Amino acid sequence: MRRALYLFAGWSALAIGAVGIFLPLLPTVPLWILAAYCFSRSSPRIEGWLLAHPVAGPHIAAWRRRGAISRKGKLAASLALTGSAVIGLLLLRPPLSLLPAAAALLTATWIWTRPH
């Protein structure tokens, strides 16, 4: 039962992360890191496939080794966060319009404190 839950959670995180490729508010790589964690407890074969993935694999491995986010990843995340904050500022009324900007600022601050 536990293995099945981890497997379900892994596939869910992988699928939602894939949607994040096209939607700026959904973080792809962090969700795929979560998927790799879930697969490590449910399906070593799928975990191995994810770790061998040419794009996601190195990011997952770097996170596991030292909690690192590449400079390119930090930049991409910052740009997506900035875009989301601008959209929020344009489409929402104050004070709600400040929430996406605040979330972007907090998240970007955390991202840039990670090693690369």
Question: Using CA atoms, how far apart are residues 93 and 51, in angstroms rounded to an integer?
Answer: 43
DSSP single-letter state for residue 67: S
pLDDT reported for residue 80:
87
* Residue 19, Cβ density class (10 Å: 0-12 exposed, 13-18 middle, ≥19 buried): exposed
Model-wide pTM > 0.95: no
Question: Using CA atoms, how far apart are residues 11 and 111, in angstroms rounded to an integer?
Answer: 25
pLDDT reported for residue 23:
81
18-61: pLDDT as tens digits: 998 888 677 888 899 999 999 999 999 999 999 999 989 999 99
Q: Which amino acid is at 25?
A: L
68-90: pLDDT as tens digits: 999 998 998 899 889 989 999 99
Place of tokens 């990670």: 114
Alpha-carbon torsion, ordered 85, 56, 64, 113, to 10 deg: -30
Contact (CB, 8 A) for 80 and 72: no
